[in-house]
Amino acid sequence: MTDPHCLLAAVRACPRLKVLNMNGISATSNDVIAAIAETCPELTELRVGNYNQVTSEGVQRFAASIGPRLECLEVHRSHSIDDNAWYALAQKCFQLRYLNVQQATLIEDRTFSMMVQQNPALTHVDVSICRMLTDDSVRLLALHCRYLQRLFLSKLVSVSDASLAGLATGCPMLKELHIEECAGVTDVSMVPITQGCTLLTTLYIDKVHGITCATLKQIAETCTNFVSLRANGCKGIRTAGVAAILDHCPCINFISVSESYGVNKAELKGHNKNPSRISIF
């Protein structure tokens, strides 16, 4: 849909709307976002992203009227929304379980910190490429969000072991962790995480050179439901660590170690007990 007037009319015709997914709809404008908040007080789920026209003004207007029931918020690739607008929205959110603001490049620690402190029931958080976030945000996330299951921190250059280690005790239900290109992360935090988060099924660590076989061997020892490893371009990964996962994780079905030159894929074939089910790239 490309006509904002048609979308606006559709929204206003549905005052009892609870779930709205507008991903990829280019007609999503500031007026539409404001109308959603004003017209749909029972809204629990809102997804906006890709090619939308929403700016800081629209988020401020949305925040002014949003109802108290919002549980799922997805507003990604929002480079034009400043931190003041995000902060205004954060002040109104108290029941979030799902938060995806990936590529919200202007969101700052003060806003994200408020979000996690006010929403301890969060189970899914994606702040990938939110480059202004630091260890302060992740430290509070680990402190307040005990029910967290899926965490995406890809390309956060200011996040390090100092905060990530808190996940080991703060988020025992963690199942999925994405930390691609987080240069400050090493075995120092990842070994404790894989010891404490025994429900872990998925780990993406592309180009994180400080993670070695120590982390992979710990996964093999404690994470019995582990399913998926992506470790492309990792200088610290060796064949023995990947082989340990193949040998001891019965649920594994996907491994990607492209350009991790310390891994010999030919040797891994001998550890792949079910090549028809387990894909190795």
Residues 218-236 as b/e (b if ≥16 CB within 10 A, e otherwise) read bbbebbeebbbbbbbbbeb
- Residue 186 φ/ψ, nearest 5 degrees: -140, -175
Give the range among 4-18, 106-120, 213-227 with minimum mean pLDDT. 4-18
- What average pLDDT does range 169-175 have in this prediction? 98
Q: Residue 254: is its pLDDT beyond 70?
A: yes
Structure confidence at residue 4 as a pLDDT band (50, 70, 90): low
Q: Residue 108: is its pLDDT beyond 90?
A: yes
Q: What is the mean pLDDT of the chain?
A: 92
Degrees (nearest 5) of the Cα angle 232, 190, 203? 45
Residue 236 one-letter amino acid: G
Q: Residue 90: is its pLDDT beyond 70?
A: yes
- What average pLDDT does range 28-53 have in this prediction? 84
pLDDT score recorded for residue 45: 94
pTM assigned to the model: 0.93
- Residue 36 φ/ψ, nearest 5 degrees: -60, -50
> What one-character-per-residue DSSP string does 104-115 give?
-TT--HHHHHHH
What percentage of the chain has pLDDT greater than the value 90?
A: 72
Give the position of tokens 């109308």: 35
